[in-house]
A and B are shown apart, each in its own frame.
Chain A
Amino acid sequence: MQVRLSAFVRKEMLHILRDPRTLLVVLVIPVVLILLFGFTVSTDVNNISVAVCAPVRSDAVRESVDRLSFSPLFKCTGYIDRAEIDRTLRTGKASAVVVFDDDYTNSGLFQILVDGADVNTARTAQAYLQSVLSGETSRQSLFEVNQVYNPQLRSSYNFVPGIMGMIFLLICAMMTSISIVKEKETGTMEVLLVSPVKPVYIIISKMLPYLLLSSLNLVTILLLARYVLDVPLSGGVWSIVGFSVLYLLLALALGLLVSNIAGSQIVALLISAMVMIMPVIFFSGLLFPTYNMPWALRWISYVVPARWYIDAMRKLMIQGVAFRGVLLEFGILLGETLLLLAAATKKFNDRLE
């Protein structure tokens, strides 16, 4: 049986190598995504335009305004009158206005007006302004905010685990399901079945090459994350790799299940997109925090494997917890993997119907 399995795996490898365009896409897309999200797409806000309204320009006010203009986060557009505040915000000349109290030197009171039309920027601008303005007059500041684990609040830290969660699902689940369904579609499955080969060999031989390919992706992603995006990976590389391999197996099992349901490559592709990509985007906590969701959606998110994977990756890569800190996530993923594998192999038909 050894011979048969290796022949099968060799055949699958040939299929992949003979389709260089797909291979290229599979190998390059993760790199592009990581770099794209790491550098260009970010929720970090820089160069917020700020106008200042200060009827009394005391030394304390001047000092604060200097502080603002030196910060790379802000761009001071100049002093305006109280009457101009509304117009300045409306016309978009500034996205925030700081109004200093007449007795700012003693009271330390100031007001921040932000343009709420762009919620993201507004929230960030408010937080930044608050910290810059009250940070300097520390005598009045009642509390100090410290961002632990990600002191610069860089969004690339957040995206790397998310992209990993998505890419591995895409490659392992989608590519395996398509490659199995293709054999059904072209009729080669008929010939494979009328042979002494056990279905489990067909399954394993489909999984191995894609497991290998995604392991390669895992390596490139981790290297890029560590050396280009400076993600700390402080939980230990082996924990990250071990956890990721489990997730890869889960994705493969999912792909197998899809291939049992789908009758054509197009259907396999659609199911993959609907069942895998959408939930990762909406329910994994990648973009929207899951704890804010209505309970029904929150329950869905508990089932989405990517949610647990991304959670664990954040802990391992950014917070730097040891492996025992993600045991819960590991356990859940392991359970889901076994469940999916059992379902997929049970459903795998060794006849045509």
Chain B
Amino acid sequence: MKAIEAYQLTKSYGSVQALKGVGFDVDRGEIFGLIGPDGAGKTSLFRILTTLILPDGGGASVDGLDIVKDYRTLRSRVGYMPGRFSLYPDLSVEENINFFANLFGVTLEENYDLVAPIYRQIEPFRKRRAGKLSGGMKQKLALCCALIHKPDVLFLDEPTTGVDAVSCVEFWEMLARLAEGGISMLVSTPYMDEAARCGRIALINEGEILQICPPPDHLEDYFIDLMQHHGQSH
């Protein structure tokens, strides 16, 4: 059973077609990168796979569960970190983590081992309000909160946007460790250099997947070539 299987997903907002038949699959324990510019349809895809919005056509299953029929069960099995900081800025680090743990009926102590590598870095600031953390710290906290219930599949929508270079490297190292532990991941990013850290990547532009492949060298040139080529063929 694959971690994620998606086929022919379409989604439109009014006259704008955000997704034009997207299909791919993600293996267990794989970090699958979704690389594409702003407005490529990455966030729509994330929202469909995390059951937040319904696709117009096509279908998908995550962790073997249908994203439309089994959405209730599915919601307790996935971890989701939205594109923008979506924690409570007026609650402290600790309060945020405990709240999200409670949401899934678990405690921080229970799953401490899983989040420990990340949590230990923000633990010194556990009494600090989340809104007062630096960008990198915020992302680590958000990852902690998304992981606290031991999800099988993790969805990370642009987790490193607006984070300094050093924190980015650290962040990707953490993701690699989590993947080794068996967690499957779908990660989107607009940064080409981060793609090298994924097992496989899908290049997405204007609601279409152009290519799925292992991260090639000189991805940037490759992607631009691909986009131009694709533009000519239309």
A binding-site residues for B, Cβ under 8 Å = 3-4, 7-8, 11, 14-15, 18-19, 186-188, 190-197, 351-353
Kindly list 8 other residue pairs between chains A and B, CB separation below 8 angstroms, not including A191-B146, A195-B104. A7-B98, A7-B99, A188-B88, A192-B103, A193-B51, A196-B72, A196-B103, A353-B54
What's the A-B contact tally at a CB cutoff of 8 Å? 76
> Is there an interface contact between A195 and B75, defined as CB atoms closer than 8 Å?
yes
Give CA–CA (A187, B157) in the complex, Å.
Answer: 13
Report yes or no: A188 in contact with B90, Cβ–Cβ below 8 A: no
> Hey, which chain B residues are within 8 Å of A15, CB to CB?
88, 90-91
Whether, in the assembled complex, B139 has its beta carbon less than 8 Å from a beta carbon of chain A, the answer is no
Residues in A whose Cβ lies below 8 Å from that of B100: 191, 195
- Determine whether the beta carbon of A187 is less than 8 Å from that of B52: no
Do B47 and A352 have beta carbons less than 8 Å apart?
Answer: yes
Q: Determine the distance from Cα of A188 to Cα of B87 in the docked complex, in whole angstroms.
A: 6
Contact among A4, A351, A353 with B103 in the assembled complex (CB-CB below 8 Å) = A4
Pairwise interchain contact A190-B91, C-beta atoms closer than 8 A: no
- Is there an interface contact between A7 and B75, defined as CB atoms closer than 8 Å? no
Rank and list the top 8 A-B pairs by shortest CB-CB distance, nearest first. A7-B102, A196-B76, A187-B86, A18-B90, A194-B80, A352-B52, A195-B103, A190-B82
Q: Is the CB of A190 within 8 A of B80?
A: yes
1/0 contact trace for B85-98 toward A, CB 8 Å? 11111110001001
Q: Is the CB of B52 within 8 A of A351?
A: yes
In the complex the two chains form, what is the Cα distance from A14 to B102 in whole Å?
15
Q: B181 contacts the other chain (Cβ, under 8 Å)?
A: no
A191 touching B53 by the CB < 8 A rule? no
Chain A proximity of B102: nearest CB distance (Å): 3
Complex: A197 Cα to B101 Cα, angstroms: 12
By DSSP majority rule, is chain B's interface helix, strand, loop, or mixed? loop
B residues 37-82 with Cβ under 8 Å of A?
47, 50-54, 72, 75-76, 78, 80, 82
Q: Say yes or no: A7-B53 contact (C-beta < 8 A), given A191-B82, A191-B86, A196-B76.
A: no
CB of B105 closer than 8 Å to a CB of A:
yes
The complex places the Cα of A191 from the Cα of B105 at a distance, in Å, of 15
Q: Which listed residue (B76, B82, B95) contacts A187, Cβ 8 A?
A: B82
**Contact B51–A351 (Cβ < 8 Å):** yes
Which residue on chain A has the smallest CB distance to residue B101?
A7
Distance (Å) between the CB of B1 and the closest chain A CB? 21
Residue of A nearest to B85 (CB): A187
Q: With a 10 A CB-CB cut-off, give which of B82, B88, B95, B103 has the most chain A CB atoms.
A: B103
The interface residues of chain B lying within 8 Å CB-to-CB of A196 are 72, 75-76, 103-105
Give the shortest distance, in Å, between B107 (CB) and chain A (any CB): 9
Output the nearest chain A residue to B78 by Cβ-Cβ distance.
A194
CA distance A7 to B99 in the complex (A): 6
- Chain A CB within 8 A of B84 CB: yes
Q: Is the CB of B90 within 8 A of A19?
A: yes
Chain A's closest residue to B86 (CB) is A187
A residues in contact with B99, CB < 8 Å: 7, 11
Q: Contact check, B102 vs A3: say whether CB atoms are below 8 A apart.
A: yes
Give residues of chain B (175-192) contacting chain A, Cβ–Cβ below 8 Å.
Answer: none
Question: In the complex, A41→B136 CA distance in Å?
Answer: 55
> What residues on B are CB-neighbors of A197 within 8 Å?
103
Contact sample, A vs B, 8 pairs, CB 8 Å cutoff: A15-B91, A188-B88, A190-B52, A191-B146, A194-B51, A195-B103, A196-B76, A351-B51
| B105 with A194: CB separation less than 8 A | no
Complex CA gap A18/B47 in Å reads 31
Residues of A close to B85: CB separation below 8 A: 187
The minimal Cβ–Cβ distance linking B99 to chain A, given in whole angstroms, is 5
**Contact A194 to B52, CB < 8 A, known contacts A7-B102, A15-B90, A19-B90:** yes
- Measured in the bound complex, the distance between the Cα atoms of B132 and A18 in whole Å is 14
Contact A3 B105 (CB under 8 A): yes
Binary contact track B27-38/A, C-beta < 8 Å → 1, others 0: 000000000000
What's the least CB distance linking A333 to chain B, in Å?
34
A11 contact set on B, CB distance < 8 A: 88, 91, 95, 99
How far apart are the CA atoms of A53 and B30 in the complex, in Å? Answer: 102
Q: Complex: how many Å from CA A82 to CA B75?
A: 89
